[in-house]
Structure 1
Amino acid sequence: MIGNGLSYGWLAARRRISEMVLPAVTTATGAYLVVLVFGMSDGIRTQSAALGHADEISRAVVLIAVTVLLVGVAEVAVATTRTVAHRTRELGVLGANGIPRAPVVAALLVEPVIAALAGALIGALLAVLTGVVLAAAGVVGTGVSTVGLAVGAGVAVAVSIVAALATSVVPTWKAASRPPIRSLTEGS
């Protein structure tokens, strides 16, 4: 039954792709920063050692990068809430036809996960390309670590997906839990 919900969610996400652009772009921006910070972390650590407190400065830089990524994921959550509000009548029809809550929630979670995943992958890819170009051009004096770029990409994708799910579960669960008659009469 969950598989049917995921299939329905995939079809709905394809239909609503234009509404996922802003959340994906915002997430991509955060992912881009996270990957570049991880890629240049060795150089940042080296330069900050000259200033003293290298570990604290490195942690602060990573914290800032992850915060920017989470701001992007917050946009995914806002988009999910907006999507749920626009799909109230559709949720009422699903509930009135006896569709259980779990597949409905799964269907509603497809969109934020796709937006977060697409944004994180695009941002990570652009950051890796930027890091490679910067390293090849010698613009970054301390270098860009390939391992750091890979770790940053993994962190960006994982954090984006987990945060998108975590911030989207509550509004989707609440929407799927509404009585169908209420969703049908109040929906737009």
Structure 2
Amino acid sequence: MSAGKGLAYGWLAARRRVREMVLPAVTTGTGAFLVVLVFGMSDGIRAQSASLGHGDEIARAVVLIAVTVLLVGVAEVAVATTRTVAHRTRELGVLAANGVPRAPVVTALLVEPVVAAVLGALAGVGLAVLTGIVLAALGIVATGVSYPGLALGGGIAVVVSIAAALATSIVPTWKAASRPPIRSLASGG
């Protein structure tokens, strides 16, 4: 099985397991929403916090809180990946017993967390940009909303979501794909 077939197999599995991806996607989307709005309002936050005398410190703290929320969402993606691997133990054993190399199996298992992270991040970014535009149009945010800030926040949210989903999912998928087939088949799942 090649990497392309691993991706195709992973895509089919992700489509079958779409319900299991809802919570990780929603959690990641919530984090992305917050990150985008924080970056969109960062100029105003910086100006208001400067009037308090601690502009840079408060602005950094707000960004740190937003990124932390995004990473909590991605941690949910990692938990979902671990659950997925545990439920697919027998399937992994069958693939290994049939001589499927480890790399395509890992590729197939990584499709689900990446799809959940991307969909969640894009939904959160879209909703945040829409919210930012509406808030700016209605004049609800006294300090205004920066469109370049929204774009920067959106880019950061998507990139961080994908990178963190891959980083947190690679270890459980690699371990699962490395198990001897007889152990996977005997333990079921």
Q: One fold, TM greater than 0.5?
A: yes
Q: Which SS does the other structure have where 1:113 is aligned?
A: helix
> Aligned letter for 1:6?
L
* Structure 2: runs of 5+ lacking an equivalent: none
Cα distance in 1, alignment partners of residues 54 and 115 from structure 2: 39
Matching residue of 1:170: 171
Q: C-alpha root-mean-square deviation of aligned residues, in Å?
A: 0.4
Q: Which residue of 1 aligns with 2:49?
A: 48
Per-residue CA shift, 1:30-64, capped at 9, x if unaligned?
00000000000000000000001201110100000
What residue is the counterpart of 2:148 in the other structure? 147
Q: Deviations over 1:117-164 (max 9, x none)?
A: 000000000000000000000000110000000000000000000000
Q: Whole-Å Cα distance in 2 between the matches of residues 87 and 27 of structure 1?
A: 23
CA distance in 2, matches of 1:82, 1:148: 36
Q: 1:96 offset after TM fit, Å?
A: 0.4
Q: How many residues align?
A: 188
What is the rounded CA distance, in whole Å, between the counterparts of 2:122 and 2:168 in structure 1? 19
Query: Is 1:58 aligned to 2:52, yes or no?
Result: no
C-alpha distance in structure 2 between counterparts of 1:51 and 1:119, whole Å: 35
- 1:50-91 C-alpha deviation (Å, 9 max, x unpaired): 001201110100000000000000000000000000000000
User: TM-score, structure 1 length as denominator?
Assistant: 1.00
Aligned to 2:83: 82
Percent identity between the two aligned chains: 81
Name the structure 2 match of 1:16.
17
Distance across 1 between alignment mates of 2:15 and 2:101 = 23
- Point out 4+ residue stretches in structure 1 off by more than 6 angstroms: none
What letter matches 1:50 in structure 2? Answer: S
Q: Counterpart of 2:176 in 1: which secondary structure?
A: helix
Which runs of no fewer than 5 residues in structure 1 stay unpaired? Answer: none
Is 1:28 matched up with 2:29? yes
* C-alpha displacement of 1:187: 1.4
Deviation readout 1:10-36 (Å, 9 max, x if unpaired): 000001000000000000000000000
